[in-house]
Structure 1
Amino acid sequence: MDTATVGKLKAFARGEATWAEVEGMTFEEAKAIAQVGCDLAGAGRYEEARILFEGLVEGNPRDSASRAALGTVYQKLGRLPEAVTEYSAALERDPANPVALVNRGELYLQQGNRQGFTDIANAVEADPDGQTSAGRRAKALVRAIALAAVEKMKEAPAQA
């Protein structure tokens, strides 16, 4: 085994390198694999997408985008606790990840957890112009929440 490989393995063992780095996976290669995962998920092939994103996360657990994408696939598969775990891990690395924020926010709101409001507000702040589908979804959720609150106020009896 050559010295460079030994050095990479030692760095991995110390937690200083990811397995993707040991293997020499480039950013472009990881991005291409992630695109295939997104295409599979878009076609409703969630189990296959799950396999790809789990592999990407295993190779590089620091990759916020892959963790958010894995969370989305888990959410589509109904694996909600795992989805929240992946969204939270993505946000540890990138607190402004709009996909992780809006999706975790929505899951939290479904659970009655008020942190969901904060996550969705942060998603709008992370993408104020709605350049991503996650940013647009966050804005739509804010509007829906505001409309529901207004309707609730209209229904409430007038307080004297």
Structure 2
Amino acid sequence: MGRVIKYEGAAMDTATVGRLKAFARGEATWAEVEGMTFEEAKAIAQVGCELAGAGRLEEARILFEGLVEGNPRDTASRAALGTVYQKLGRVPEAVTEYCAALEGDPTNPVALVNRGELYLRQGNRQGFTDLARAAEADPEGVTSAGRRARALVRAIALAAVETMKDAPAKEAPARA
């Protein structure tokens, strides 16, 4: 895969110039200018996931930040970057990435469940809505995010029922 960055002073081909102009107008991502394929981006993301899974969070962060910089419209990479930020304790940045992922894909279960959990920890009721939407986005529980969302919604509902059982019954006002 040839890279524009390796430009050595020879005349640029028309296609490259067109991609650069499209990038300057905001019509193309840098990944498109560079000619990065979906398969290449997916392979890099897989390495990022493996690094994160092995606890090598800083290395995973670097890969996902690069993917997002190259293609800010890549909602899966944005959600993965948010997850890495969350694991690193960088909560505001994680929420920013989850929100950006959800702008492009409002049903992204990873972004929904993780943002939902962070919002709930902050006392923000939007968190429950996010969890419910994540469970709806994956009703069969195909993804781990969908299964986690369903488990959290169930746990919250059970906790609410227990709280209601333990609360003293309010007496009805006396009628005259």
Which interval holds the TM-score relative to the shorter structure? over 0.9
Give the alignment's TM-score, normalised by structure 2: 0.90
Which of 27, 36, 40 is equivalent to 2:51?
40
* Per-residue deviation, 1:110: 0.5
Give distance in 1, aligned partners of 2:129 and 2:157.
14
Structure ranking higher in helix proportion: 1
Structure 1 portions without partners, runs of 5+: none
Displacement of 1:124 after TM fit?
0.5
Divergent runs of 4+, >6 A: none
Instruction: Please list every run of 5 or more consecutive structure 2 residues that lacks an aligned counterpart in the other structure.
Output: 1-11, 172-176
Residues 1:58 and 2:69 are matched in the alignment = yes
Q: Which among 90, 110, 117 is matched to residue 99 of structure 1? A: 110
Question: Which residue does the alignment assign to 1:76?
Answer: 87
User: How far apart are the structure 2 equivalents of 1:142 and 1:121?
Assistant: 7
> CA RMSD for the aligned pairs?
0.6
- 2-side partners of 1:132 and 1:96: how far apart? 13
Deviations 1:17-61 (A, max 9, x none): 000000000000000000000000111111110000000000000
Q: Distance in 2 between matches of 1:21 and 1:150?
A: 51
Percent identity over paired residues: 88
Other-structure match for 1:20? 31
Given candidates 100, 107, 112, the residue that maps to 1:89 is 100
Task: Indicate which of 124, 143, 152 corresponds to 1:141.
Answer: 152
For these two proteins, the number of residue pairs brought into alignment is 160
Question: Helix, strand or coil for the counterpart of 1:10?
Answer: helix
Cα shift at 1:159: 1.4
Secondary structure of 1:15's counterpart equals coil
Structure 1 length normalisation: TM-score? 0.99
